[in-house]
Chains A and B, each alone.
Chain A
Amino acid sequence: MSRDRIDAVHLAWLDAMRTNDADALGRLVTEDAVLMPPHEALVVGRSAIIEWFAAVVRQARTADVKVSQREVIVAGNYGIERGSYVWTVSPAGGSPVELRGNFLAIHQQQFDGEWKLTRNIWNSTLPVGAGT
């Protein structure tokens, strides 16, 4: 049951990215969630996360995102999700760019039983200087 709900959050997350919908992304995270994008400062809190993704979209819209080698562990009130991603973005006026790497996401069950994402960290497997 918990696993199903975590999977639903995962799918909704990918959908929010693909539709470039920052508000939808914000609905999936806890109020105090933290994103850890490479080469950037921490993004702390739901509002900051919405602003961060809106800024990403203004810079380069997400054309697609795919996840592979995904694994989920559920232990009590925490769910650990890990995997590899291919994130295709289309910079304004530029050609699409494929970003590749690995991620680790922490889901936490809330008092109302809902699962939300509370930490998300990712890095790049591309060669140095090829982008994140």
Chain B
Amino acid sequence: MRLLSACSVVLPILVLACSQSTPAPGSRPDFAAEEKAIREADARWLKAAQARDAAGEAAIFASDGVAYREHVDPLIGPAAFQTWGAKVYGENPRQTTAWTTESIHIADSGDLAIETGEYHTTGIGANGEREDKGRFVTVWKKVDGEWKVAHDIGSTTMPEAPPEKK
């Protein structure tokens, strides 16, 4: 009887503890599905980049998305990214960029994700003779149910170029 009495007290506490720590069904983000959606959005961006489609790339950005590129001021918003991209493609007629994803971490809130990886840009210059390699971090956020780029930064791993001759 004493044992039964003890259980009758402890069990409700355990049940209560479990019910408090377990999220209600449907409240926890489906991380696998979210990661798949991010990879699909990233694939669309890569396809646009390979096609040298600055407008297509800009469309991946959130309306307040920011891109940090080497040697230029922050590009804020899709229009700024498109203008910059079109200029770069115009000045570098053979330039294309490819990248590989190293990791994707989704916040437990399910509405923000961090992607890291490496990029490789080839065909830089009027004759396409230069290349650049480096790393990137992309922050994705969910906007109206769709994953968009909130922040994107690249940082080269190539040796530093000597000062340009004047």
Contact = CB atoms under 8 A, between A and B. Distances in A.
Given A38-B155, A39-B157, A73-B150, A124 B70 contact: yes
Contact of A75 (B66, B109, B135): B109
Nearest to B136: A121
B107 interface: yes
A37 B66 CA distance: 20
Interface in A50-64: none
A119 B71 CA distance: 21
Contacts of A128: 71, 161, 164
B72 interface: yes
Given A82-B66, A123-B69, A104 B139 contact: yes
A122 B70 CA distance: 9
Contact of A123 (B111, B150, B154): B154
A124 B71 CA distance: 6
Contacts, number: 101
Nearest to A40: B157
A15 to B, nearest CB: 24
Interface residues of B, number: 37
Contacts of A122: 153, 155
A106 B137 contact: yes
A123 B70 contact: yes
Interface residues of A, number: 34
Interface string A92-129: 00000000011110100000000000010111111111
Contacts of A47: none
B105 interface: yes
B71 A39 contact: no
Interface of B: 66, 68-74, 105, 107-112, 114, 116, 134-137, 139, 141, 150-151, 153-164
| CB-based closest 4 A-B pairs | A76-B109, A75-B112, A76-B107, A102-B68
